A = this chain, B = another copy of it.
Amino acid sequence: MATTATTGLELRSRISRDGELDLSLVDVPVPTPAAGEVLVRVEASPINPSDLGLLLGPADVATIRGGGTATHPKVTAKVPAQRLGGLGARLDQSMAVGNEGAGVVIAAGSGAEPLVGRTVAMLGGAMYAQHRLIKAADCLVLPEGTTAAAGASCFVNPLTSLGMTETMRMEGHTALVHTAAASNLGQMLVKICKKDGIGLVNIVRSAEQAKILKDLGATYVLDSTSPDFAAELTEAIAATGATIAFDAIGGGKLAGQILVAMEAALNRKAGAYSRYGSTTHKQVYIYGALDVRPSEIDRSVGMAWGVGGWLLTYFLMKIGPEANKRLRDRVVAELHTTFASHYTAEISLTEALKPDVIAAYAKRATGEKYLINPNKE
């Protein structure tokens, strides 16, 4: 037991029934690991889009106000009344935040002693904190010499992008479509598909985003703002044979457009007329919510189609421990290549609660990603 502090800081997010978001740092006791557990000093935890969902919820970023003290800042913002309905049981609860992170094991319970001093990556929430108690078996032990910053994003983006190609294979498809494809996750997917020889149609929303992927060696990069987008999409889908898509946008017409393009590409090679359309199943999985409007599915997609939600957690539960280990092993093996993450800035917990910093990371700008180091300073 090498820890000296008796309390550590932990970031909390709370949304009240009155529609007020409160972000704060609280002092929590440093726990003592039980048998099989380790205590990790968290040194790096990324702010992923999925973290922003819990951290800020549907708060109006324009209403953010700072407060509190230098060591214990507080931030408030307003949540529009019409957005409170979907928040259910989180209302009035103080929620710990941070899906994934990495740090150094500083104490261990019985049986976990060999991990002391090792840098480990973790998934499981409450990572925006100076200490995280976790089961040793749930830690991904990083190779000696790996920094916490390099290992902070081992799970969400790497496993999500690998989960997409795994799902593709499991469900009998051979190529895929990805939207919002210039994201950190999308760049990883480009690298996976290039390495594994998988056809990938990338959909982005600007020429700048297209250039990012072209520079990575992506073959099919389509700009959805192009006037010829529908035709270009059908061509790229016909060329790759993609019959599954992963969509981070969710709302609007894009998911439906992808299905329509898949159906059109399939019908080009179809033989006899079938009034029920192609018999090949076409699937779009929505895994993000960049657009919170309803999804519009055009009906000219035949009868063999599906649209649904896709969540990493559910996927990992479904594939079982052996496949989980295989995917994690690949992430570690390719941590500095396929799965390398780049961060715009490394910030402390107190910096993470500065209104101007929040405004910056809340933009979710393509290619920008912030890393929290709860033990910075």
Contact B303 A305 (CB under 8 A): no
Contact A53 B275 (CB under 8 A): yes
**Of B289, B294, B300, B309, which one neighbours A296 at CB under 8 angstroms?**
B294
What are 29 A-B pairs at a CB distance below 8 A? A53-B275, A86-B300, A88-B267, A88-B270, A88-B273, A89-B270, A89-B271, A89-B272, A89-B273, A90-B273, A90-B275, A250-B299, A253-B294, A256-B294, A279-B314, A292-B299, A293-B299, A294-B296, A294-B297, A296-B297, A301-B309, A302-B309, A303-B311, A303-B314, A305-B308, A306-B306, A306-B308, A306-B309, A307-B308
Sample of 8 further A-B pairs with CB below 8 A, known A89-B271, A297-B307: A88-B267, A89-B267, A95-B273, A276-B311, A294-B296, A294-B297, A303-B311, A305-B309
Q: How many copies does the complex hold?
A: 2
Q: Which residues of B contact A314 (CB under 8 A)?
A: 279, 303-304
Q: Which residues of B contact A8 (CB under 8 A)?
A: none
CA distance A295 to B308 in the complex (A): 13
Q: Tell me if A's interface is mostly helix, strand, loop or mixed.
A: mixed
CA distance A89 to B298 in the complex (A): 20
Q: How far is the CB of A260 from chain B (nearest CB, A)?
A: 10
Assuming A89-B270, A275-B90, A299-B293, is B306 touching A311 (CB within 8 A)?
no
Contact surface of A with B, Cβ cutoff 8 Å: 53-54, 85-86, 88-90, 93, 95, 250-251, 253, 256, 267, 270-273, 275-276, 279, 289, 292-311, 313-314
CA distance A306 to B307 in the complex (A): 6
Q: How far is the CB of A317 from chain B (nearest CB, A)?
A: 9
Contact B306 A276 (CB under 8 A): no
